[in-house]
């Protein structure tokens, strides 16, 4: 079958004929690009991935020393006094002020901070895989909608051509009826055939309008008027997309990798909670400007250093329970990954079988369409010679339309299954 531009000029016209107008094209790759740039779902996935990266950066800060500016004021009502001399000696003051930088560093925490950082990093990687998957799904949705528009245009064109033929045959039979060479039954049958095709034409037009609105929603763009919009032909898309061999299922499919990263993240989180049962050693150092300086009412620079140790003695198995929870969640993610691998292998195999079957059917359908068209011409010539009735002509014409529509649907299925296989191969 020859390729031809699928023009949406037929969408809202009252009949199959139309006037020539200037056209605006929308190619498949252009539609894909617009969908990827404007998809709210993809934008949300990008934001989630960015949030996960920021969270990982924040978690990593726990591995470094922390420098802060500390300032405090304290009032005490009772001041110790030593009865020395006529007035005595006060050890301190009612108002106590201290201000200065403080450096703190967790010298040992049982690996909790590092495990938490690595866990959040794995969650960030999982969100990146989710972003890859969202990109694949948005592109697949754009392609599928585009292919439905192509199919709608093709079906509308085929019905339009059949309607033109039926109207031409109806005029011919009316002339033959006037000349006494055709019966009233043939005239009515020809008119009924034209009416039937007009209904099919309107149905095809409505289906094409629905497909066009779906594509417009996916690319988030008000498409040009239907009488000026041109999309790629099925033949062109088949040449661009169809590889010589179906693409293999990717071992690094983003859906699968996301679950594996999530399992690793939960395992690391469990390790972090187990580390909470170990002692925690905190090293601190401070240089501050204080007042008073013991019994002397003056401001003084004071440098201090200290080490503290914290060991949980009783917390009602909090850390153990949290570790068990994260381990269970890690196991659940691992099992989901196993099930997902099985599902992907099954769906990939089904898509490949569907593609191979559609390719075989296309060859048969092309031959059937050619033969149906040839038979229809022969039967109409036989009718004009008076050897057959018009019902045979109607039947032959219907078989031609059915064969051509079936071929267009098979080609749309080939395009759809090829796009699905590319999605399984994680070709983004």
CATH code where residue 406 lies: 1.20.1600.10
Report the alpha-carbon angle 399-19-217, nearest 5: 75
Q: How far is CA 42 from the centre of its chain?
A: 6
Q: What is the pLDDT of residue 224?
A: 67
pLDDT of 244 reads 56
280-291 and 300-310 as β-strands: parallel, antiparallel, unpaired?
Answer: antiparallel
Q: Could you tell me if 165 and 293 are in contact, meaning their C-beta atoms sit under 8 angstroms apart?
A: no
Question: Is 414 a member of any domain?
Answer: yes
The answer to whether the CB of 6 falls within 8 A of the CB of 233 is yes
How many beta carbons lie within 10 A of that of residue 269, not counting itself? Answer: 24
User: Is position 239 within any domain?
Assistant: yes
pTM exceeding the 0.75 threshold for the entire prediction: yes
Assess contact for 6 and 157: CB atoms under 8 A: yes
Range of the domain at 258: 6-62+112-277+329-424
In a domain, 47, yes or no: yes
Cα 361 from Cα 357, distance rounded (Å): 6
Looking up tokens 């590319």, which residue turns up? 422
In our burial notation (b when 16+ CB lie closer than 10 A, e otherwise), range 51-82 reads ebbeebeebbeeeeeeeeeeeeeeeeeeeeee
Kindly give the confidence (pLDDT) of every residue in the chain, 428 residues in length, as a single tens digit, with 9 standing for 90 and above: 344 344 444 444 444 444 444 677 889 999 999 999 999 999 999 999 999 999 999 999 989 999 999 999 999 888 887 776 666 677 788 889 999 999 999 999 989 999 999 999 999 999 999 999 999 999 999 999 999 999 998 998 999 999 998 898 889 888 888 888 778 888 888 888 899 999 999 999 889 888 889 999 999 988 765 556 788 888 888 888 766 566 788 888 999 999 999 999 999 999 999 998 899 999 999 999 998 887 788 889 999 999 999 998 888 888 999 999 999 999 999 999 999 999 999 999 999 999 999 999 999 999 999 999 999 999 988 888 878 888 888 889 999 999 999 999 999 999 999 999 988 887 65
Q: Looking at the domain assignment, is residue 83 inside a domain?
A: no
In a domain, 357, yes or no: yes
141 is a domain residue? yes
Judge whether 303 lies within some domain: no
Q: Evaluate whether residue 217 is within a structural domain.
A: yes
Residue 30: predicted pLDDT: 92
How many independent structural domains does the chain possess?
Answer: 1
In whole angstroms, what is the distance from residue 242 CA to residue 256 CA? 25
What pLDDT is attached to residue 232?
87
């Amino acid at each position: 079958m020859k390729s031809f531009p699928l023009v949406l000029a037929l969408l809202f016209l009252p009949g199959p004929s139309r006037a020539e107008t200037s056209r605006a094209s929308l190619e498949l790759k252009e539609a894909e690009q617009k969908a990827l740039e404007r998809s709210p779902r993809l934008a949300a996935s990008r934001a989630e991935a960015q949030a996960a990266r920021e969270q990982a950066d924040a978690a990593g800060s726990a591995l470094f020393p922390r420098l802060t500016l500390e300032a405090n004021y304290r009032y005490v009502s009772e001041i110790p006094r030593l009865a020395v001399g006529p007035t005595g000696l006060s050890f301190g003051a009612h108002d106590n002020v201290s201000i200065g930088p403080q450096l703190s560093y967790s010298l040992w925490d049982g690996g909790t901070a590092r495990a938490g950082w690595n866990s959040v990093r794995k969650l960030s990687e999982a969100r990146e895989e989710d972003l890859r998957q969202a990109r694949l799904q948005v592109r697949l949705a754009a392609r599928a909608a585009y292919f439905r528009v192509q199919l709608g245009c093709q079906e509308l064109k085929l019905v339009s051509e059949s309607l033109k033929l039926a109207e031409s045959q109806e005029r011919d039979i009316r002339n033959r009826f006037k000349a006494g060479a055709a019966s009233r039954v043939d005239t009515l049958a020809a008119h009924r055939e034209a009416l039937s095709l007009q209904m099919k034409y309107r149905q095809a037009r409505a289906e094409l309008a629905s497909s066009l609105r779906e594509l417009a929603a996916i690319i988030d763009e008000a498409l040009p008027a239907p009488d000026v919009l041109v999309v790629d032909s099925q033949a062109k898309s088949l040449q661009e997309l169809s590889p010589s061999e179906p693409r293999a299922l990717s071992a690094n499919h983003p859906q699968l990798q996301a679950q594996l990263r999530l399992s690793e993240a939960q395992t690391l989180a469990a390790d972090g909670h187990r580390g909470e049962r170990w002692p925690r050693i905190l090293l601190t150092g401070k240089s501050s400007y204080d007042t008073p300086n013991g019994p002397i009412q003056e401001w003084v620079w004071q440098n201090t250093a200290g080490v503290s140790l914290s060991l949980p003695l009783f917390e009602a198995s909090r850390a153990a329970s949290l570790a068990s929870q994260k381990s269970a969640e890690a196991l659940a993610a691992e099992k989901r990954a196993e099930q997902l691998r099985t599902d992907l292998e099954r769906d990939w195999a089904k898509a490949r079988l569907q593609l191979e079957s559609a390719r075989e059917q296309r060859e048969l359908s092309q031959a059937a369409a050619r033969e149906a068209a040839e038979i229809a011409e022969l039967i109409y010539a036989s009718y004009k010679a008076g050897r057959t009735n018009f019902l045979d002509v109607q039947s032959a014409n219907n078989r031609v339309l059915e064969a051509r529509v079936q071929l267009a649907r098979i080609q749309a299925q080939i395009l759809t299954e090829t796009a699905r296989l590319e999605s399984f191969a994680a070709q983004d």
